């Protein structure tokens, strides 16, 4: 990859979020706190689900993998961001930059389809409760998880291969706090149309297809809930998928805002705020959302 990048520069420079030393100190403490909560929350979810036999169900099987993805996702981004905020060293080698981008895309693609799998699981649990243990078999759960990781692998591999054809001649300053595709494309001195088309197609396919699966899965859920006569029954049925609805809404809204909009509407400030939200804040929120709304986890 490094041989294909036509430049005399040895690395990239991550511009970061701000040049103000005072603001960097505040952001460092804030992001460090979020990262510690993320690690504790997601590792705790994985450990609890592993140790408690009552949580060995399809829903918590998917949730355990979601916690692993969020933990890994955060670790790809936050440590380097903390280093840049605390020190004046904003350099990152080409290999490290493309590796960070690779795993960032991998975990985003994987999480998209994990959320879809969880939506299907909730659909079966609410609309066909008596058949739930048969339909959501161990083999089917493993198939869904494997497919999710495969989507992430394909997205990241194809995207990074496309990005590796870019040349960087005039500038090596990435106007972002981590190695994302759009800021890197922005400093390339060659035709970026091919790379942009690849990113748009892959991001569009991943987000649209996974969101379509979520939407289709929730149609029978809504129909079943509306047909329940008692208010208590409706409330109980809705509570089983409420946490997933919150998690899905937050994740897809931030992703669509960032990756599926016209390039003419690009704004560095807005994109950085959105990136902070989905790369740093969401991995912390997911274990809180799913644990605080689940009686089994709280017990």
CATH number at residue 273: 1.20.1070.10
DSSP-derived 3-state class of residue 137: coil
d(CA 38, CA 65): 15
177 in a structural domain? yes
**Token output for 227:** 């047909």
198 in a structural domain? yes
Predicted pLDDT of residue 189? 84
Most confident of the following: 128-142, 185-199, 207-221, 249-263: 128-142
120 in a structural domain? yes
If one compares 297 and 193, the residue with the highest pLDDT of the two is 193
For 227-268, what is each residue's pLDDT tens digit? 777 777 667 666 667 777 777 887 788 777 766 655 555 555
d(CA 264, CA 226): 42
Contact 298, 291 (CB under 8 A): yes
Strand partners, 91: 13
If one compares 297 and 128, the residue with the highest pLDDT of the two is 128
159 in a structural domain? yes
DSSP-derived 3-state class of residue 174: strand
3-state helix, strand, coil in the chain (%, to 5): 75, 5, 20
Contact 31, 82 (CB under 8 A): yes
Residue 78's pLDDT band, with cuts at 50, 70 and 90, is very high
Among candidate residues 51, 81, 266, 94, the one with its CA nearest the CA of residue 188: 94
Our count of domains for the chain comes to 1
2 in a structural domain? no
Phi, psi (rounded to 5 degrees) for 14: -85, 115
1 in a structural domain? no
260 in a structural domain? yes
Please list, in sequence order, all residues whose beta carbon lies within 8 angstroms of the beta carbon of residue 80, skipping any fewer than 6 positions away. Answer: 14, 92, 100, 178
205 in a structural domain? yes
- E-strand spans in the chain? 11-14, 91-93, 173-174
d(CA 206, CA 108): 9
Contact 16, 177 (CB under 8 A): yes
d(CA 17, CA 298): 37
Does 152 score more than 90 pLDDT? yes
Sign of CA dihedral 286, 291, 293, 297: positive
In this structure, the number of other CB atoms found within 10 A of the CB of residue 135 comes to: 14
Comparing 107-116, 136-145, 221-230, which segment has the lowest mean pLDDT?
221-230
How confident is the model over 27-43, as a mean pLDDT? 93
Residue 270's pLDDT band, with cuts at 50, 70 and 90, is low
Contact 93, 55 (CB under 8 A): no
Residue 294's pLDDT band, with cuts at 50, 70 and 90, is low
**How confident is the prediction for the chain on average, in pLDDT?**
84
Please list, in sequence order, all residues whose beta carbon lies within 8 angstroms of the beta carbon of residue 195, skipping any fewer than 6 positions away. Answer: 162, 163, 165, 166, 181, 185, 188
25: domain range? Answer: 11-298
Predicted pLDDT of residue 46? 92
Task: Say which residue the tokens 């609309």 belong to.
Answer: 127
For 123-139, what is each residue's pLDDT tens digit? 898 888 889 999 999 99
């Amino acid at each position: 990859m490094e041989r294909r990048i036509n430049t005399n520069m040895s690395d990239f420079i991550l511009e970061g979020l701000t040049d103000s030393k005072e603001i960097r100190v505040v952001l460092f403490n804030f992001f460090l706190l979020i990262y510690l909560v993320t690690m504790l929350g997601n590792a705790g979810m994985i450990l609890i689900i592993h140790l408690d036999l009552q949580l060995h169900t399809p829903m918590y099987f998917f949730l355990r993998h979601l916690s692993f993805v969020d933990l890994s996702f955060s670790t790809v981004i936050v440590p380097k961001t903390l280093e840049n905020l605390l020190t004046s060293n904003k350099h990152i080698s080409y290999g490290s930059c493309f590796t960070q981008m690779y795993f960032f895309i991998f975990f985003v693609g994987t999480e998209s389809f994990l959320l879809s799998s969880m939506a299907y699981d909730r659909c079966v649990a609410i609309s066909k409760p008596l058949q739930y243990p048969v339909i959501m078999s161990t083999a089917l759960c493993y198939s869904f998880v494997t497919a999710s990781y495969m989507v992430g692998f394909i997205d990241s591999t194809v995207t990074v291969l496309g990005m590796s054809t870019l040349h960087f001649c005039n500038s090596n300053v990435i106007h972002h706090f981590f190695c994302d595709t759009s800021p890197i494309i922005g400093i390339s001195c060659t035709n970026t149309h091919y790379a942009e088309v690849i990113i748009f197609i892959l991001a569009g396919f991943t987000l649209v297809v996974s969101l379509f699966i979520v939407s289709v899965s929730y149609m029978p859920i809504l129909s079943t809930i509306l047909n329940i006569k008692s208010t208590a029954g409706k409330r109980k049925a809705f509570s089983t998928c409420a946490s997933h609805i919150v998690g899905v809404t937050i994740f897809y809204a931030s992703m669509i805002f960032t990756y599926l909009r016209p390039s003419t509407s690009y704004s560095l400030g807005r994109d950085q705020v959105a990136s902070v939200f989905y790369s740093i804040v969401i991995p912390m929120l997911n274990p809180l959302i799913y644990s605080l709304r689940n009686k089994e986890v709280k017990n």
